[in-house]
Amino acid sequence: MVEKLEKFGCVSCLALMASVVTLASMGCAELKHNSVERAIKQLKGAKILTVQDYDKINPLDQFGWPVTMAEEPSEYDRIYPKRLKEYLGIDIKIVRLKELNQEIEKITEKEAEKMADVWINEATEVRRGVKRKDVIRAAKLYLGLNELYEKYDAQAVTLTSWHMFKKQKKLSALPAMAWMEFSKKHVPGSCQAHIDCLATMLIGQYITGGNAGFDGDILNDWSFEPIGDRPKNVIIIAHCGAPITPHGDDRIPYTIRDHIMNTGARPEHIPPEATLTAPTVTWPTDESVSVIKFDVYRKKVSIHTGTILDGNALYRNFRDEICRNKAVIRLDNPEESYLLPSRPDEGVFRGNKWFGSWGCHQVMFYGNLRSEIKEFAALTGFEVVE
């Protein structure tokens, strides 16, 4: 190589080096373009499996907690599946809770124990109050959901857990551990039947080649007591379930602990000796992340970028407050974000201001995906909100 450079001379050498840099830049851009095109192709024929006993779509994000699940489907509910298929190529398969419970009843104690022991052995800690039989109950729910996932050849899974657990009182466990397990095989999973979130999780995962998205409520950072000065320009995304594959095949550590529903929200049909379980993952910090939400019905997508921070170093008792997984994100362009500013008088959950549009949930991905999302939107006709 040295002989060739000497032969070309200094000028030719510089030209050659410039060409290499140019080709490298072109290669990076081409890789990003290919990842977007690949994602669009992968979405065609993808299927979201949602376990719910009603026919409404995205009811919590669109109408909030007061929504009556038994209401007749609205125009939004009737049109949404058609637009999801037309815009993105994704189908929805609705399955009733009865079918899930039938699958759970088929799971043997030995099968559930085997799955539970995998989780217990993988976890860095099983926190006080969680017993092996509690983890076994969660394992049965996962195995039942997995049977439906395989039966219907789905690519993403969701369950109206809060409604079925709190209102219908037909679940003896919650699926937070299930979503963690599904993430190992790159299957997006989420509570509360947020189809927009599942579509967002599929898109981001396909674009990145396997990075799992974390969806959750937007919490009010004013609800947490800072250790030092109150952090500025931050949002907090929180849910009790979380993936352990935000970097693709590289897994992050997790502990097994009690679910938030063990607090005052705990339903009466759960015996007092039972502990509902959830994982708490250890997020890699000081890395670039993207906060994304597709509003399929209105054909819009919002994208924010920022840096994920260590919430345990910023707020007192952070890991034990509210949802069991929380991501603190300092936004790059806070003055331009509809997610800010937050206010002390907003309450813990800030989502009520976005009902009927973006909803109360967002999805976080590791990496700055702004250019990829904008290209995806351009190719699929979605309006970008930055």
Count of all residues that appear for the chain in the document? 386
Alpha-carbon 195 to chain mean position: 11
Number of Cβ atoms within 10 Å of the Cβ of 258: 20
86-101 mean pLDDT: 97
Burial class (CB in 10 A: 0-12, 13-18, 19+), 366: buried
Q: Is residue 30 part of a domain?
A: no
Q: Is residue 88 part of a domain?
A: yes
Q: Give the pLDDT confidence score for residue 213 in this predicted structure.
A: 99
Segments forming the whole domain that contains residue 295: 44-385
328-350 mean pLDDT: 95
Q: Is residue 350 part of a domain?
A: yes
- 60 band by pLDDT with thresholds 50, 70 and 90: confident
Query: CA 227 → CA 209, 283, 344, distances in Å?
Result: 37, 19, 17
pTM over 0.75: yes
The SS3 of residue 313 is helix
pLDDT in tens, 258-275: 998 887 666 677 777 889
Q: Give the pLDDT confidence score for residue 264 in this predicted structure.
A: 66
Query: CA 185 → CA 90, 188, 210, 227, 328, distances in Å?
Result: 19, 9, 9, 37, 26
Give the chain's domain count: 1
Q: Is residue 35 part of a domain?
A: no
Q: Is residue 358 part of a domain?
A: yes
Angstrom distance (rounded) from CA 39 to CA 34 = 8
Residue 129 DSSP one-character state? T
Predicted confidence (pLDDT) at residue 227 exceeds the cutoff of 60? yes
Report the candidate in 31, 80, 39 with the shortest Cα–Cα distance to residue 380.
39
Q: What is the mean pLDDT of the chain?
A: 90
Report the candidate in 94, 139, 97 with the shortest Cα–Cα distance to residue 116.
139
Range from 8-22, 74-88, 104-118, 329-343 carrying the lowest mean pLDDT? 8-22
Q: Is residue 22 part of a domain?
A: no
Q: List helix spans (H) across the chain.
A: 2-43, 59-63, 75-88, 97-106, 109-122, 132-151, 161-162, 176-184, 195-208, 311-314, 370-380
Read off φ and ψ for residue 138, nearest 5 degrees. Answer: -65, -35
Report the candidate in 98, 94, 115 with the shortest Cα–Cα distance to residue 198.
94
Q: Is residue 25 part of a domain?
A: no
232-242 mean pLDDT: 98
Q: Is residue 102 part of a domain?
A: yes
